[in-house]
Amino acid sequence: MDNKTKEEGQQYSNNVIDSMKDILNIKDEEDLQEEVFNYGLSISKNTVINYLISWGGPAFRLKITFNEDKELVSIEPQYQDWFTQWVTMQTTEEQNQILNDFVSHLYLEETVLEQ
């Protein structure tokens, strides 16, 4: 992502959060709830599965996301060193294909997502 997009995205995020703050300042509980419900366009539910490959320092996992229709949305390889946040690693097209092929053999749609 280029710097211009990051800056625009950050400004947009700041504006949205400021608008949310204004809504939270509404005193009447019914008016507040109505504004909160009407603020967003939709609510969707994704299922995230963390496939842990190693733990400790370093830890490595695949963060696998499915949409409401149990369709694969993304596979994010993530790294974490001791006492740090998970960081998503960049991958090449070839690596993405390998990750997709590997995850398909976990049969998550038929096993974990069916529970």
The 10s digit of each residue's pLDDT in 77-112 is 999 999 899 999 999 999 999 999 999 999 998 887
89 near 77, Cβ under 8 Å?
yes
Q: Which of 53, 63, 60 is nearest to 81 (CA)?
A: 60
Say whether pTM exceeds 0.75: no
Tell me what pLDDT residue 1 has.
Answer: 63
DSSP string, 9-32: HHHHHHHHHHHHHHHHT--SHHHH
Dihedral sign for Cα 83, 47, 73, 93, please: positive
Q: What is the pLDDT of residues 24-80, one digit of tens each?
A: 999 999 999 999 999 999 888 999 999 999 997 799 999 999 999 989 999 999 999
